[in-house]
Amino acid sequence: MSKKPKPTACLVLADGTVFYGKGFGAVGETTAELCFNTAMTGYQEIMTDPSYAGQVVTFTFPHIGNTGVNPEDDETQDPVAAGMVVKWDPTEPSNWRAAEDLAAWLAKRGRIGIGGLDTRRLTRAIRQQGAPHVALAHDPDGNFDLEALVAKARKFPGLVGLDLARDVTCAQSYRWDEMRWAWPDGFPKLKDAKHKVVAIDYGAKRNILRCLASAGCDVTVLPATATAEEVLALNPDGVFLSNGPGDPAATGSYAVPMIQEVLNTTDLPIFGICLGHQMLALALGAKTIKMNHGHHGANHPVKDKTTGKVEITSMNHGFTVDAQTLPDGVQETHISLFDGSNCGIAMDNRPVFSVQYHPEASPGPMDSYYLFERFAEAMAARATA
């Protein structure tokens, strides 16, 4: 009778629970918060989304790796998520766009994967107990110091109070003119810009910048620590606040004063997504709170309270705006139909608004693109006022 193969990877929770599996990607160890994502597609975009900094992602969909990876689908230069957990070993790529297989791609970029786990059990545990702190290890020889790994998981500081935007933001400003992908030529360049936009990079996804360009925006991206003086020196027609990772209250220590100064000294349209939504809410006087296990997936129904329309959205956040703390003059515009949490705000009588979800990710597929058009229309209206 043949021996059962020795596990080459393990996932260790801070409470001492151990899951064994088959390792792939990079060899080594990492500690992080564990979350789960319910999307059926887009694993490469998820792994390269800067909003996943400090997190290991459990994929509830089992067929991970089947479309391979390619440079066009990266949301930033390299994977940002700390690691990935899957039910089955990554499958061989079967897609005409594939340039590389997932395991090799992860190995080259220093990210660990583990396959063969009961992801349904993991997901239930996360839902019931909250997002745990974990240590993920991959050793081809299967040698693991479990006591040390449990200790490392317990020492992980967690995301509360952690400013990760500084770690994933750009080092210096740059221009962006690449538009959304279009058959057959790929990503066209914007030739006739109508609006000048300054985008603050708290961990911006490339496809958000492409959507801004496709809406006619000449985009200049500034680091997360940019001051109001630096923003306004570019004489923009509007300001965009990007997605990003970590605790919004920690990032807000330097981001909120900038946003408040722009709000108090100009009438510029402002549009925020994800962490940018939370930054705007904090700047307006609201508060944010840590969620039990957050929202991560591409099937989240969100209701637009102003129109009654329901959008199928992509989400990735572990903190949320506390709608009970929104001040007078700020309306809640969108809510999650899963749990009623806040998903959008807008100022009364000013073109300042934001959403918690990701309209650029197109799970609907075009349910939420109107938000970029609304931003462009607000800049056009201001220009002709």
**DSSP 8-state symbol, 260:** H
Query: In angstroms, rounded to a whole number, what is the distance separating the alpha carbons of residues 234 and 222?
Result: 10
**Residue 58 tokens, joined:** 């459990």
Choosing from 33, 75, 311, 360, which is the catalytic residue? Answer: 360
If phi > 0 it is left, if psi is from -120 to 50 it is alpha, else beta; for residue 186 that is left
Choosing from 293, 317, 334, 358, which is the catalytic residue? Answer: 358
Contact assessment for residue 46 and residue 60, using Cβ atoms and an 8 Å cutoff: no
Question: Is 377 among the catalytic positions?
Answer: no
Question: Is 45 among the catalytic positions?
Answer: no
Query: In angstroms, rounded to a whole number, what is the distance separating the alpha carbons of residues 311 and 187?
Result: 26
* 233: number of Cβ within 10 Å: 11
Query: In angstroms, rounded to a whole number, what is the distance separating the alpha carbons of residues 234 and 224?
Result: 16
β-strands 28-37, 55-59 pairing = parallel
3-state secondary structure 147-185: HHHHHHHHHCCCCCCCCCHHHHCCCCCEEECECCCECCC
How far is CA 207 from each of CA 20, 66, 138, 373, rounded to the nearest angstrom?
36, 22, 32, 15
β-strands 174-176, 217-223 pairing = antiparallel
**DSSP 8-state symbol, 16:** S
Question: In the chain, what's the furthest Cα-to-Cα distance?
Answer: 81
Q: Rounded to the nearest 5°, which phi and psi values hold at 347?
A: -80, 145
Contact assessment for residue 68 and residue 96, using Cβ atoms and an 8 Å cutoff: no
Find the helix or strand (DSSP H, E) in which 124 lies: helix 119-129
**DSSP 8-state symbol, 90:** P
Contact assessment for residue 278 and residue 315, using Cβ atoms and an 8 Å cutoff: no
Contact assessment for residue 102 and residue 43, using Cβ atoms and an 8 Å cutoff: yes
Question: Is 360 among the catalytic positions?
Answer: yes
Choosing from 10, 211, 217, 274, which is the catalytic residue? Answer: 274
Residues with active-site annotation? 274, 358, 360
